[in-house]
Structure formats: structure tokens, C-alpha cells
Amino acid sequence: MSLLPGAATTGADAPSADWSDGGVPGELTGPQPSGAAFEGRSTRLAKFHVPEIVFGPGSLAELGHCAARLGGRRPFLVTDPGLIEAGWVDEAVRHLRAVGLRPVVWHDVTPNPKDREVEAGFQRYAASGADVIVGVGGGSVIDAAKGVAILSSNGGRILDYEGVDQVGRPIPPTVMVPSTSGTGADVSQFAVVTDTTEHIKITIVSRTLVPETSVIDPRLLTTMPDWLNAATGLDALTHAIEAFVSRAHNPLTDTHALHAVKLITGNLVRTQLRPRDSGARLAMAQASLEAGMAFTNAILGATRAMSHQVGGLLDAPHGVVNGVLLPHVIRFNAQAWPERFVALGEAAGLDTAGAPPYEVAVRLAALVRSLADDVGVPKGLASLGVAESDVPVLARTTLKDACMATNPREVDVHDVEALFREAL
């Protein structure tokens, strides 16, 4: 029996219910909630696409079995020099070889992966005779691995696939092992690549990009430098908040988004102060996972769209840029839909009893800014290198980003320019 509203059921499995008043599966007896009591619940058909997830300390040991189950014989392992230096690639290779696989390692990936790097990676993949693609690293590594997978079955240049549903053919199976607690790339339908000619980031959105398996081992998080820990943690917080207020949110994404906010606000600073605190690391690994599951299904909003452009211009970590931009975008979006921010405030630990919704949103924005201060994120974009003269171009390219489609408030170029100027 399907539990999706609108799905066909027959015979004894078919519940007798009138969906017109906002009923949801599991609430089929007695009067159904409606109006204010049902605010925020969605009766739209909801899809929730996630990989198989292997989660917990030591789960990297399962990598070989995960790749073999997908038919791998010669996995193409994408990583970067930092992960090699930390020792995680050697461990991953051992686990792959232990089940009889013959991995090929490619590590020429830099932060904010470049179009030319992805295309060079594909050439190496094609020449190696590899099959399953494995990414061991942060969001840049995983995005590069997805880019290689796209080109392996679709051809052309990676920039050809910008936008939504432009990847026409299925890609090789992928297994991702995240080494940071924030990007969500290991469970998402997104890949972000830098256009080195235009100095912008392009977003590729396709259900084909959701990996078959995500192996989440919190041990890998302990070797992140502090700046990366801060950046990816704020990235995850942005994912959770923007997914919750997205036009495409649903009850499934809401649950994960709110829990991610609770975990991040309660644990990110702990991981900065005590990098080997296993409890905090486990919580942040779960927060990254839940925020990723939320945003890949609900998409995002203006913060992420704007940060992509700054990252493309300056090659800056978008998690840091998110930390600067998010408070401004919260206040902006809350002018149109303040009620939606009350639950977020509660999840972040704010006392919301009796407070007007917009006041809660303003306090949430202040909490985000305080958290960014605590982990060392600059207060303004100017300190990252953004100039007033950059604003018009950044605003124009922001409006083309796929994440803008689900921002909860209508936005024009003047709005985006004003937000960038506020954030300078």
C-alpha cells in the first residue's frame, strides 16, 4: 500500500478518507485538521530521494562491499591531496582491495572544482577502464566525482549541463564518503562547478546525481582544519534553514531540517573547541546528513544562490560566504513569511513563547551571526574581497541560479543588489 496522497489503492488497502480538508496519511480517523491548525503541512505529493546510507564510526570499512555490490571491479576513487595526507585515502584503498577490487586514484581536485579539472578527471577515468566512481572528500571532491560521472555517459563539456534536468543519460554508480560535516553533497542531487572563463559557479541539478550509497564515518571529520569545520557547519545550517522555508518543502524535509538546526546550533562550537569530541562529531555528521536530505528534496534559496556567485568570483569557500549572507536573507525572507521562522527559532533554542513571528526571525538571524562570530567567520563580504563594483554582476548572475526558484519571497535584481550591499 502506498502512503502518498493521491496514490492509487484498491480493495481492503484503500482507506476511506476525504483529502479535501487537508488530511494526511496516518490521520484518517476523526475530524481532520484544517486552517490555522494545519498551517505548514503540505498535501502535495512528496518525493524523498536519498541514497543507501551507511552511518557511524568505522563505517569506512564497508566501502569495498558498497562498491562491489554496485558491480565495481575497478573503482575510480576521486579525492584531494589533503585527504591523502590525512591517511584516509590509504585506508579507503585498503578496504577496496580487501574485497578484490583494483582502485584507480585521481586527486587533482582543488576547492570549488573547476570545469577544466572535471574534464581532466573524465579523461583519466576513460583511459583507466574504471567503472564505479567513489568520492572520498569534501563537497569539492564529491562535486568533481559527480562531474566525471556526468561526462562518462553524456559527453560534451561539464558546463553544458547547467540547470535542472539537463543530464539526459544515466551515470555510472557512485559511492560517496564525506570528510566534512556540512556540504550534503554525498546525498544530494546537486553538483556545483566553477566556470573558469566567466568566474562564476554553475549549478547542475539532476536526480541522476543522487549517489547510490553514502558512507558517513565521523572519524574523517577529525582531520578537518578549523576554518573548514566552521565553513561546512555553517553550510549545513544554511541548507537546513533554507530547505525549511523553501517553496518546495514538505513534511518529510521539514523533520530533517529542524533536527539539523538543533544539532548544529548545539554542537558546531563544541567541534571547534574540542576537535576530537566524538559526541559532537557524531552529531555534526548526522546534522550534515539530515540537512542534505532536506535540501536535496526541498532545494534552497537566495543565500545559496548568492554564495555561489561570490565563490565563483573569488574562489572562496561558500560555507564562509553563507555565514555572512544568511542573517541578511533570513530578515529579508521573513518580511514575506515570518510564521515559518518560528519553528526554526525553537529548534535553535530560542524562547518563542508569545513573540511575534518576525521578531523570532530577527532573533534567529542574530543567533546565526553570533554563531558565525564564535567560529571565526568575517562579518562582511568586503573582508573576503568583494567590492561595491562587483555587486551589479553578482546580482545578475544570482538570479540565474537554480536555487532562486524555491526562495520563499519573490526577488528581483534590485533586491539582490541591496542584500549584497547590506552584507558588504
Residue 96 and residue 112: Cα distance in Å, rounded?
A: 27
Q: What is the DSSP letter of 52?
A: E
C-alpha cell at 371: 554563531
Buried-state track 54-84, b at ≥16 Cβ within 10 A, e below 16: beeeebbebbbbbbbbbebeebbbbbbebbe
In CATH, 52-220 is 1.10.10.10: no
Residue in the block written with cell 525553537 = 346
φ, ψ (nearest 5 deg) of residue 17: -155, 150
Residue in the block written with cell 546528513 = 289
pLDDT of residue 61: 98
* Domain coordinates in residue numbering, the chain: 52-220, 224-423
pLDDT of residue 43: 53
8 A C-beta contact, residue 147 and residue 118: yes
Q: Give the β-pairing of 163-164 and 200-205.
A: parallel
pLDDT of residue 27: 30
Domain 224-423 class in CATH? mainly alpha
Residue in the block written with cell 558546531 = 268
- Look at residue 290 and tell me whether its pLDDT is greater than 90: yes
- Give all strands of the β-sheet with 163-164 in edge-to-edge order: 163-164, 200-205, 190-195
Please state the rounded mean pLDDT for residues 245-258: 96
Measure Cα distances from 354 to 334, 341, 359 in Å: 17, 14, 10
What are the pLDDT digits (tens) for 43-55? 567 889 999 999 9
Beta bridge partner(s), residue 204 = 163, 191
Dihedral, 313, 316, 318, 320 alpha carbons, nearest 10: -130
pTM for this predicted structure: 0.88
Please state the rounded mean pLDDT for residues 267-275: 96
